[in-house]
Amino acid sequence: MNLNQLHLFITAVLLTSILFLGACDNSFDPTDRDNGIYSVHGMLDLLEETSYIRVRDMNAPFTLDATEELDAIVTLYNLDSGDSFQLNSDIREFEGVFLHTFTFSDGVVPDTPYQIRVENSIGLELELTTQTPTLPELQINRENDACSTPVNLVFAPLNGGTMVLRFGLEEDQEDRDGRWGILRVYDSSRYTDQVSLSITPHRTAEGIANAWGAPCSSLLRDGYLYLAIAHYSPGFYERLNDEVTDILLTTQQFGGFYADTLAIPIDTSQ
């Protein structure tokens, strides 16, 4: 799976957690601030034009009638600039309930604290805060483009977020998946202020294809080694991938994210 498609995958994960909650006892005390009045599932995407945040009243039964209206004002705050944005929602029916998805299209600032506040008509509220990831400049250092020449990659600066990298031979297409290697996960315990790694294109391509000894030209047929990049707010990737031991924790999934793909040109004749 291309990490550019990870945005869709995460959206599916967040939606699954909402539906999973429907099978549980829906009897949270609306005055219990530890449990929260609402579930909030969403991300602030640094590269996409629009970010999506889904909000649900945890005390409403999972029926069409009970979920059609949502007693909530959703506000996003940029805690650095002091700017606030009251978000509008899109309402869609799905699997027997109405989903309320709030959108933000004013641009997400990297390495910035944001807070989402959801408040109902009697003043009860839920607040979640995140620090968006940086948008590091990638440095690529190599002597030449030869397939056998090591490539040194440096991502800097970072702010404690988790970076996930994946090398590939082919990008995903609409009608078929690409050819990708293993996920390389770099959380804050594996770096200080930058992520650096060195790879040899030929060896990397051999490993992805599991074709040791194959010529580079047969592995990188279009002359590129692809690098899929995903970068998350501190702790956000880990929360999305944690084994669910407390269903209440799945009701508070909010963080920053972006995904991109880099095509590294390779001279496959060398």
Convert the pLDDT of each residue in 93-124 to its tens digit.
988 889 999 999 999 999 999 999 999 998 88
The domain segmentation of the chain, as residue ranges, is 3-131, 137-265
pLDDT more than 90, % of the chain: 65
Structure confidence by residue, pLDDT tens digits, 206-240: 999 999 999 999 999 999 999 999 999 999 999 88
pLDDT more than 70, % of the chain: 84
pLDDT of residue 36: 53
| Tokens of residue 30, six digits | 């609306």
pLDDT of residue 3: 44
Mean pLDDT, rounded, of the chain: 85
> 141: Cβ–Cβ under 8 A, 6 or more apart, which residues?
151, 152, 153, 154
Region 147-171 average pLDDT: 95
- CATH topology of 3-131 equal to that of 137-265? yes
Residues 104/77, Cβ–Cβ less than 8 Å: no
Confidence band (pLDDT; 50, 70, 90) for 11? Answer: very low
pLDDT of residue 60: 83
Q: Which CATH class is domain 137-265?
A: mainly beta
Residue whose pair of structure tokens reads 């909530």 in the numeric block: 72
CA-CA distance, 170 to 129, in Å (whole number)? Answer: 37
pLDDT of residue 61: 84
pLDDT of residue 175: 87
| Tokens of residue 2, six digits | 């291309």
Structure confidence by residue, pLDDT tens digits, 13-71: 444 443 333 333 333 333 344 445 788 999 999 999 999 999 988 888 888 898 899 99
How far from chain centre, in Å, is Cα 64? 29
pLDDT of residue 124: 86
Architecture of domain 3-131: Sandwich (2.60)
CA-CA distance, 243 to 52, in Å (whole number)? Answer: 24
pLDDT of residue 240: 86
